[in-house]
Amino acid sequence: MRRYDPKRIADNLRDIQDGSMATSVPPSSDGRIPTQPPHGLSPDGEASDSEAWESFAEWMEEKILPGLDRSVRIDALPPGTRFAAFKRLIHRALRLVSAKQVSFNFYASVALRGMLEHLREVNAALRMHEEAIRRESAELGRRFDDIQNDLVGRTEAQRHESARLHEETLTQVQARLRQSLRALGSQTSSTSPPVGGAAASSSPDEAPLTEELAYQLFEDAWRGTPETIRRGQQEYVLTLKPFIEKLEPDCRMVLDLGCGPGGFLQALLESKIEGVGVDINRAAVSEARDKGLNVEAREATAYLAERPDNRLGAITAFQFVEHLTPGALRRLVDRVYSKLAPGGVALFETLNPATFAAYRWFMMDLTHRRFLPPETLRFLCECAGLEHVETRMIHPVPEHERLRETGDETELANIRRLNETLFGYRDYLLLARKPTAAEEGPTT
């Protein structure tokens, strides 16, 4: 099809058209004036899809253009026409009268044909883009399915691996328990008193050694072995180290309350920081001493009372304060303040009662007494005189155990709030510092 310059066509139409010229649509090939576009167009004239535009182009060619073409041509009279001379005269007169209309119709026909050709080209390009978009959408759908299946597979693999590692740990703990019980049994047999002799006296509050051993093995199974704890608490050593290095050399000792078998003390030793531990569990103390660590089998508050004031660089208590009564906790925090050197720090780790995930761990240990919200522990520390109190949430619940965050903004906000309440951080860490003499100001 011949192409025409749209600008030239527009200029010609403006030159031909005047204010009195009728611009109504000429009749179609069947002699009727079309008044409605074909089915498939929206009321404002925009196509609903590419098929509607194609139908519109066909409608224009069938109904509009033939009438315009016929109005442009004045056919020659066939031979033998009656009154031929008169009709030729009428035709010539009509040409003079309708010259502008004929010229306008001609250029309008050309413009419409050019528009229809361009419309078909655009429509073909749109169909190609639609097909490309469908292919890309299908490919994205396949990729999404592959990623989702991969994530599901990895999650299941992680669950199986966690279960396997836990089963392996339990097996090791059971083996250690049988070995320790056999050693304890032989030790008891070799030291049993003679018949009729008096048995060694013990404190009524002192738990049997077998019970202490069982509790230590329980902690190994559920909280982690000393090696696992050591690796996890190396970050705490990095937290304490800048504070310790600012103190006088004779005030850099770190005391770990409820040290267990000494996982944190080992981490201190690797960083060349002197540490001492205290624990009432004799089985844990014996295991720590076997590693060459400095550990005392004492009650923490009583041991603190015997330490000189203002001499310790740091006092730590990991998963310890939830075992104390309110009175014992208040006395402990007061003594922590008095025993710390000015500029020394206290570090407490305990379960986070703000999330439901911590309740399972709290209830597993029968020696736990109460949850301790961070606001309560902070208040006790500040009442004792500690300052610069900082709380950090630690040990988040694994991602595969949390609710999936999907949906619109409102749903996402609700799911995130549920995740924080049900599957948030299991523990929190509270750090507090004893002010220096310069920070406390002059005494009166």
Q: What are phi and psi of 8, to 5 degrees?
A: -65, -40
Pairing of strands 340-351, 312-318: parallel
Residue 337: the pLDDT is 97
Residue 322: the pLDDT is 94
Q: How far is CA 151 from the centre of its chain?
A: 15
322 within 8 A of 369, measured Cβ to Cβ: yes
Q: What are phi and psi of 436, to 5 degrees?
A: -80, 170
Q: Where are the alpha helices (DSSP H) in 32-83?
A: 50-59, 65-72
Enter the DSSP assignment of 444. -
Task: Name the band, by pLDDT with cuts 50, 70 and 90, for residue 130.
Answer: confident
Residue 352 lies in a domain: yes
Give the CA angle between residues 281, 284, 290 to the nearest 5°.
140
Residue 311 lies in a domain: yes
283 within 8 A of 209, measured Cβ to Cβ: yes
Task: Name the band, by pLDDT with cuts 50, 70 and 90, for residue 74.
Answer: low
The amino acid sitting at 200 is A
Tokens (6 digits) for 352: 């986070």
CATH number at residue 309: 3.40.50.150
The answer to whether residue 19 scores a pLDDT higher than 60 is no
As a whole number of angstroms, the distance between CA 329 and CA 326 comes to 5
Which neighbouring-strand residues pair with 428?
A: 350, 393
Question: What is the span of the domain harbouring residue 118?
Answer: 6-75+82-137
Q: How far is CA 110 from the centre of its chain?
A: 61
Q: Are residues 233 and 116 in the same domain?
A: no
CA distance readout (Å), 53 to 46, 59, 248: 8, 10, 87
As a whole number, mean pLDDT of residues 40-47 equals 44
Residue 3 zone, left/alpha/beta (φ > 0; ψ -120 to 50; rest): beta
Highest mean pLDDT range out of 90-104, 331-345, 416-430?
331-345
Q: What are phi and psi of 178, to 5 degrees?
A: -65, -40
Q: 99, 121, 137: which is the final residue of a domain?
A: 137
Residue 370 lies in a domain: yes
As a whole number, mean pLDDT of residues 238-254 equals 94
Q: Are residues 248 and 120 in the same domain?
A: no
Residue 1 lies in a domain: no
48 within 8 A of 28, measured Cβ to Cβ: no
Q: At what angle do helices 263-270 and 234-245 cross, to 10 degrees?
A: 50
The answer to whether residue 365 scores a pLDDT higher than 70 is yes
As a whole number, mean pLDDT of residues 33-61 equals 52
Q: Are residues 427 and 279 in the same domain?
A: yes
In which residue are the tokens 């080992």 written? Answer: 266
389 within 8 A of 147, measured Cβ to Cβ: no
Enter the DSSP assignment of 399. G
Task: Name the band, by pLDDT with cuts 50, 70 and 90, for residue 167.
Answer: low
Closest CA relative to residue 319, chosen from 403, 394, 388, 266: 394
The amino acid sitting at 45 is G
Tokens (6 digits) for 46: 């925009």
Number of H helices, E strands in the chain: 15, 7
Q: 90, 110, 137: which is the final residue of a domain?
A: 137
Residue 179 lies in a domain: no
Q: How far is CA 347 from the centre of its chain?
A: 29
**Residue % of the chain over a pLDDT of 90:** 32
Enter the DSSP assignment of 323. G
Least confident interval from 3-7, 125-129, 224-228: 3-7
Q: Are residues 436 and 316 in the same domain?
A: yes
As a whole number, mean pLDDT of residues 243-261 equals 94
As a whole number of angstroms, the distance between CA 343 and CA 245 comes to 10
How many structural domains is the chain composed of? 2
Residue 23: the pLDDT is 38
- The per-residue DSSP string of 168-232 comes to HHHHHHHHHHHHHHHHHHHHHHHTPPPTTPPPPP--TTSPPHHHHHHHHHHHHHHT--HHHHHHH
Q: 137, 160, 183: which is the final residue of a domain?
A: 137
Residue 275: the pLDDT is 96
Enter the DSSP assignment of 41. B
Residue 421: the pLDDT is 86
Task: Name the band, by pLDDT with cuts 50, 70 and 90, for residue 202.
Answer: very low
Tokens (6 digits) for 388: 């610069």
Residue 294 lies in a domain: yes
Q: Are residues 13 and 109 in the same domain?
A: yes
Q: Are residues 360 and 234 in the same domain?
A: yes
- The per-residue DSSP string of 71-117 comes to HH--PPPPTT-TTHHHHHHHHHHHHHHHHHHHHHHHHHHHHHHHHHH
Q: Are residues 130 and 227 in the same domain?
A: no
**Residue % of the chain over a pLDDT of 70:** 59
Residue 40 lies in a domain: yes
The answer to whether residue 219 scores a pLDDT higher than 80 is no
Residue 165 lies in a domain: no
Task: Name the band, by pLDDT with cuts 50, 70 and 90, for residue 196.
Answer: very low
- Cα-Cα-Cα-Cα dihedral sign, residues 217, 218, 219, 224: positive
Q: How far is CA 34 from the centre of its chain?
A: 61
Q: Are residues 304 and 419 in the same domain?
A: yes
Tokens (6 digits) for 362: 């709290």
